[in-house]
Amino acid sequence: MHYHLSGLIPATFTPLNADGSLNLGQIEPMVDFLIEQKLTGLYVCGSTGEGVSLSTAERKAVAAAFVQATRGRVPVILQVGHTSLVEAQELAAHAQEIGADAISAVPPFYFKPPTLDANVRCLAQIAGAAPDLPFYYYHIPQMTGVQVDVANLLAAGSRVIPNLVGAKYSIHDVYNLQAAAELERGRFNLLFGSDEMLLSGLCAGAQGAVGTTYNFAAPLFGRVFDAFQRNDMAAAQKYQGQAVQLIRLIAGYGGLPAFKTVLKFLGFDCGPMRLPLQTLTPQKEEALKADLTSLGFFQWIA
């Protein structure tokens, strides 16, 4: 199977009500906003979407809501990885049933696959539950604890997983990213997942990117991408430098909860975090907004 994604793809947030229940009604206006930003797809129920903190039933509901809201305007990639392969297979089969465009999965991350072969066999079970959908390995070892050479995994996996098309590569190691991107003359679709190093990832051979900050800073990162494509490295470095300042500032307020809060400043309140993540206090929200204003963020995304 051949499938190719490119451009900037936001890893979407999962909107929650104040009591922590799903706020599915927020998904359609958020999707319309993201598509208006000229983003090229949606990556649903990944780390940004707190997928591993949702029940299987909740993940199905969120997935269906995003597919319905998107109405085929851009591809929807559903992250279906789970500690249980049975649950992951159920989520994969559901993704195919509701008309998602592709699936992606982390490997099991409590009892971890001890070898490359074991990892491939786990992924084969997940991908096999949705044989008609392109499958992307989700490489995020800082969260899963599963260390693997992605180039070796793609080479081995392609022999037993017919719908394996690439990987979402969410680690700073561009050395191995380039090896994966050049494997078999560029056969695999590599999507870079470290927003703070987007330019480095593009230089190493990534064809597109999936990230949290594209939800609210697409114009800024679009300038990085466009400058790279026209080989204007001075401009690309300038805009990537602004992106680094932005991410360093937001990360200083506590990581993912702070990133979720920034989208609220643009009119899309996605609610609190699921425990064990901690929602920002009102005082921190005010301070974050003030710091973003001082940085020039709201002008950068105009």
**Active site residue ranges:** 138, 168
In 157-214, where do the E strands start and end? 164-169, 189-192, 208-211
Closest CA to 146 of 170, 124, 129: 170
Place of tokens 């199905």: 60
Q: Which two tokens stand for residue 291?
A: 């710091």
What is the dihedral sign for C-alpha 176, 178, 184, 186?
positive
Pairing of strands 135-139, 102-105: parallel
Please give the single-letter amino acid code of residue 171: I
Q: How far is Cα of residue 62 from the mean position of the Cα atoms in its chain?
A: 15
Residue 91, burial from CB neighbour count under 10 angstroms (0-12, 13-18, 19+): buried
Alpha helices by DSSP H, listed for 99-173, are 116-128, 141-144, 150-157
Give 182's contacts (C-beta < 8 A, 6+ positions apart): 205
For helices 233-251 and 218-229, angle between their N-to-C axes, nearest 10 degrees: 150
CA-nearest of 78, 47, 42 to 63 is 78
- How many residues appear in the chain? 302
* Among the listed residues 16, 12, 75, the one whose alpha carbon sits nearest the alpha carbon of residue 47: 12
Asked if 51 contacts 32 with a C-beta cutoff of 8 angstroms, the reply is no
Contact assessment for residue 9 and residue 49, using Cβ atoms and an 8 Å cutoff: no
